[in-house]
């Protein structure tokens, strides 16, 4: 957008802090603005409808849209606006978690957008996650229902065990992950959740879980990007029909201080190979990294609260990275977890080292 009027209109239209339904005048202005400037896709009552979105079929039989909006680290008063903007821009996949402490605001945004009547609940894939403190089997359903209540939905499309961590101290994880998983399976039996999976699990922990599982994990959500390809886990999941979702696909540039990484460390968004691909294809660095994840066969969760960035992150379906450039991106020498899990390490166990946590 350009010009003072467009900036002012954008500020008004996308400020959903109170998350009430738009007024008649706001809707009319939004429709006029988006029809003039969206460029791709069609518009219906101020919405951009993306007809060529990619999706994948899960082991559960349900379908996951391959590009979703991540909501981790989105500040209070911003995440609802981001979700509302994303849904109006064509997103149909929203990734949430109880520990993000913003699911109530996401729920208010969902309710406001659904009330407008263009998008139906069945078209939106909503994920939430079981936090570490709720692994006790008797607590799992209540935790799930709390997320559903905050999100204002009658079911979740996907519910993940967020970490293989319960907060206990000792030689083994307690309660055992197998018992937690059995409680997750019961959520599917009761119709509260359509698909279940895990996040931040290693192949060894997955193998142990699946040894007693009645329902296999449909999705494994982990960090994955050209600076940390997580290739062995991706291949393991692919061989078993388990879908992999990549979080922090842009290299989590805004988490360095939070996770105590060096602020001056290598930046994926500024990598010369990424920059060359962006220049060659006439795209931005974020689009290159999202498209790389799609061509690798994963779904991907870019995060933004900026309306223009939210829009551009979804413009990745009608073009490809050429094979030579894709291979360069897939072989970058620098490899580093940006979310390394070091905050779970305790000399008293159960994870005394990062090797214990990741089994690497």
Catalogue the active-site residues. 100
Task: Kindly give, in sequence order, each residue whose CB lies less than 8 Å from that of residue 275, ignoring residues fewer than 6 positions away.
Answer: 285
DSSP assignment letter at 225: B
């Amino acid at each position: 957008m350009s010009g003072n009027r467009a900036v002012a209109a954008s500020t008004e239209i996308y400020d959903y802090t109170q998350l009430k339904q738009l007024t008649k005048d706001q809707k009319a202005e939004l429709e006029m603005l988006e029809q003039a400037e969206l460029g791709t896709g069609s518009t219906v009552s101020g919405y951009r409808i993306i007809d060529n979105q990619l999706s994948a079929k899960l082991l559960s039989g349900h379908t996951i849209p391959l590009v979703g909006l991540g909501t981790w680290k989105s500040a209070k008063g911003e995440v609802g606006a981001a979700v509302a903007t994303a849904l109006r821009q064509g997103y149909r996949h929203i990734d949430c978690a109880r520990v993000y402490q913003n699911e109530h605001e996401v729920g208010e945004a969902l309710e406001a957008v659904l009330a407008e009547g263009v998008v139906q609940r069945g078209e939106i894939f909503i994920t939430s996650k079981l936090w570490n403190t709720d692994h006790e089997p008797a607590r799992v359903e209540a935790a799930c229902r709390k997320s559903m209540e905050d999100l204002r939905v009658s079911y979740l499309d996907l519910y993940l065990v967020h970490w293989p961590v319960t907060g206990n101290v000792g030689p083994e994880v307690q309660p055992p992950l197998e018992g937690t998983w059995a409680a997750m399976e019961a959520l599917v039996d009761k119709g509260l959740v359509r698909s279940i999976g895990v996040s931040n699990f290693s192949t060894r922990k997955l193998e142990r879980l699946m040894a007693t599982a009645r329902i296999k994990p449909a999705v494994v959500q982990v960090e994955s990007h050209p600076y940390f390809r997580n290739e062995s886990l991706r291949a393991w999941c692919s061989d078993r029909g388990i879908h992999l979702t990549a979080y922090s696909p842009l290299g989590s540039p805004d988490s360095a201080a939070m996770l105590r990484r060096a602020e001056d460390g290598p930046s994926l968004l500024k990598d010369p190979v990424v920059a060359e691909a962006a220049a060659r294809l006439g795209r931005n660095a974020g689009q290159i990294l999202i498209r790389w994840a799609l061509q690798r066969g994963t779904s991907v969760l870019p995060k933004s609260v900026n309306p223009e960035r939210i829009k551009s992150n979804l413009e990745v379906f009608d073009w490809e990275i050429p094979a030579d450039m894709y291979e360069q991106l897939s072989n970058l020498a620098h490899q580093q977890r940006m979310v390394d899990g070091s905050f779970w390490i305790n000399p008293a166990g159960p994870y005394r080292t990062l090797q214990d946590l990741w089994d690497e």
